[in-house]
Structure 1
Amino acid sequence: MNVVVVDDAQVNLVLMSALLGKLPDVDSTTFQVPAEALEHCIRTDPDLVIVDYMMPDMDGIEFIRRFRAHPARAQTPLLMVTADHEKEVRYRALESGANDFLTKPVDRIEFTSRVRNMLSLRAGQVALSNHARTLAAEVRRATAEIFERERETLNKLARAAEFRDPETGAHILRMAHFSALIANRMGLDADTQESLLIAAPMHDVGKLGTPDHILLKPGKLTPEEFDIMKQHASIGYEILKGSASPYMQLAATIALSHHEKFDGSGYPKGLAGEDIPLFGRIVAVADVFDALTSARPYKPAWELERARQFLADGRGSHFDPLCADALLDSWNDVLDIRATYRDES
């Protein structure tokens, strides 16, 4: 334990230092200048401070006020040395943050007992603080494990949908990164970008409920078949909804809303404008752009400039203008994502 003693009288410092030296596992540091003592206390975090009241330049009460002004020193035990008749001083010292008092002239037995009590209090504080840090670390570790399991579950569901879908795994990675890129360009925080990166691949999980003869049809769908295909948005929502996981909740929102159009002509609810959840508006741009520029059994890949013009033309009708502009204004990053996540041959 580290004890700091502050007193302008050298004889008092020698006496208290000698008494502290007789206690096991206690080191002491003495100061005659209160300002120097205060600087030392703020820098080193002592376990106990003993301060005299009557000192020049800065008395003991002012020392306590300045010491307690630092949040990290709000709980450090502090003893003030006063004359027995100075009750008004003691009241002010208590209001300023003193924990206990030593009476002049200092009595060896009283000094030793009060110091032991204060150091015992400090030991309890330190033990409690260490225990709290340990618990916090365990909670962070357990939370990280839960989030990792959630991510694994989402990845498995996305992979299950991928095995039934003619779209490739690279498409899922590209559109997820496009979604995070749009969020970044729109000024959304890093946690939101990460959540989009995790949840966006679940946008088409509802295709697990789409019949093969429709999902895998190489040609254009009939109106009746397309009506069945459109149900995948609602099916995906039903699969993902009701979870306590924020990732699952976000994925459910995306699954239901990423085929809505800004002018209200989309599905399944015909929402328009900002009635469409923001994450659905973001994923709509990312998904359509990558679908257009990717080869499918029923169509060749579009040229990038053609797809880029499609997004520009669809601002305010198909797409949220802000989301479309966010992708178009990040064109070099778009090209980097495409180069990083290529389709396998």
Structure 2
Amino acid sequence: MDNRQDVHPSATVLVVDDTPDNLMLIADLLKDKYRVKAANSGDKALRLLQGDPLPDLILLDIMMPGLSGYEVAEQLKRGPRTRHIPIIFLTAMAGAEDEIHGLGLGAADYITKPIIPPVLMARVETQLKIKAAADFLRDKNAFLEQEVQRRTREVAAIQDVTIHAMASLAETRDNETGNHIRRTQHYINLLAELLSEHPRFRHFLDEQTIKLLFKSAPLHDIGKVGIPDRILLKAGRFTPEEFEIMKTHTTLGRDAIQHAEDQLGIDVDFLRLAKEIAYSHQEKWDGSGYPQGLAGDAIPISARLMAVADVYDALISRRVYKPGMSHAQAMEIIREGRGSHFDPDICDAFVANAERFRDIAARFTDADQDVDPPSTALE
């Protein structure tokens, strides 16, 4: 019976030695159990290791002309493709310092010459078993990492669907807002990216925060679910009393998100931002907004970003009591709100990139709404 089918049938051993007799001896010992490759110098071994498949184990002589075994080992341990291949040094140097040096370079074992066949076979067998176990663990870890990534993507997708479902519930109460959720989500994402290097905002608008802003933005009007239909669906302007009730949607939204977070029992970053946006996106730079009358930098950055995005979209969107404004008209009102309604720097970034925001509005336009056409290279 061919033992190669029983023990390590696919294992390959590379033997590197400048002495032909040693190569022949070791190859003859191993050939009945393993595939054997040979190289008579360090340079040839490194060239051979540039191809595939890689060996499972390397038996490496130390004292060779040109590159020594130590030098070859150093290069192999630095290479991402070869660093996991176990190395057994073969040498006539039997000093403890030599052995310690070789092991310090990452060698798995150390065999002195002259070769004792049973010792060589036992050491090779042991290292191949260790490598097989290590490979299994690496493969298992790689699988687990992939599985964690897949599950993470799944959880993120479930989060996104849940967020949009919750936001859409609010929007269905106010059925003329249509794609308002998507538009404001993309407005705030673009605005955050534009300001990510601004001295006033770069400490806050890192890549992860921008992603969380995009995720949490759809919940800015979630509190509308608590506003009575007679007010929310009113085809006209609110009375002062009705407006006071309408203003409570900010607090209702914040409290609803807080309740959801309390049920989870943990703090969630995107829900923290969602609470800020829901509660404070109606605040104004000059302190005349609601619900707290915050002014200037006391207003969370997330809410300041949403304030510009939300007002612009409200201006260009049709309502029962008004037609949608043109992009140009809306931008003029945004400019007029600089320093009173809006953070001046955020307003400037929005105005300076007006065409890009118009493009977003056109891309996510409602079916029954006329929006200025997107910009073109000819404009």
TM-score (norm 1): 0.91
The counterpart of 1:238, out of the listed 244, 252, 255, is: 255
Deviates more, 1:289-298 or 1:77-86: 77-86
Residue 100 in structure 1 maps to residue 109 in structure 2? yes
Residue 208 in structure 1 maps to residue 234 in structure 2? no
Deviates more, 1:190-199 or 1:299-308: 190-199
Match of 1:37 in 2: 45
Give SS of 1:81's match: strand
**Aligned pairs for 1:1-345 within 5 A:** 1-23=11-33, 26-41=34-49, 44=52, 45-70=54-79, 73-83=82-92, 85-187=94-196, 192-241=209-258, 242=261, 244=266, 245-345=268-368
- In 2, Cα distance between equivalents of 1:278 and 1:167: 28
Question: Structure 1 stretches of 5 or more lacking a match?
Answer: none
1:271, CA displacement in angstroms? 2.6
Give SS of 2:292's match: coil
CA offsets 1:212-236 (integer angstroms, 9 cap, x no match) = 2222233332333222211111110
- In 2, Cα distance between equivalents of 1:14 and 1:221: 96
Where is the helix percentage greater, Structure 1 or Structure 2?
A: 1
One-letter code aligned to 1:182: L
- In 1, Cα distance between equivalents of 2:116 and 2:134: 27
1:193, CA displacement in angstroms? 4.5
One-letter code aligned to 1:203: H
Question: Structure 2 stretches of 5 or more lacking a match?
Answer: 1-10, 197-204, 369-379
1:125, CA displacement in angstroms? 0.8
Change (3 A) 1:198 1:48: same
CA offsets 1:187-215 (integer angstroms, 9 cap, x no match) = 45665544433321211110111122222
- Count matched residues: 343
1:284, CA displacement in angstroms? 1.0
Change (3 A) 1:36 1:281: farther
CA offsets 1:145-165 (integer angstroms, 9 cap, x no match) = 222221121111111111212
One-letter code aligned to 1:90: E
8 Å CA contact retained: 2:191, 2:350: yes
Give SS of 1:255's match: helix
| Larger RCO (alpha carbons 8 Å, 6+ apart) | 1
One-letter code aligned to 1:5: V
CA offsets 1:249-286 (integer angstroms, 9 cap, x no match) = 33222111211222332222233333322221111111
CA offsets 1:4-60 (integer angstroms, 9 cap, x no match) = 22111122112222222111xx32222122133234436554321111111122222
Give SS of 2:248's match: helix
One-letter code aligned to 1:52: D
Change (3 A) 1:126 1:213: same
What is the percent sequence identity of the aligned residues? 40
- In 2, Cα distance between equivalents of 1:60 and 1:266: 75
Change (3 A) 1:153 1:16: same
TM-score (norm 2): 0.83
8 Å CA contact retained: 1:6, 1:13: yes
Match of 2:377 in 1: none
Give SS of 1:169's match: coil
- In 2, Cα distance between equivalents of 1:133 and 1:3: 25
Change (3 A) 1:265 1:10: farther
Change (3 A) 1:74 1:332: same
One-letter code aligned to 1:143: T
- In 2, Cα distance between equivalents of 1:253 and 1:43: 56
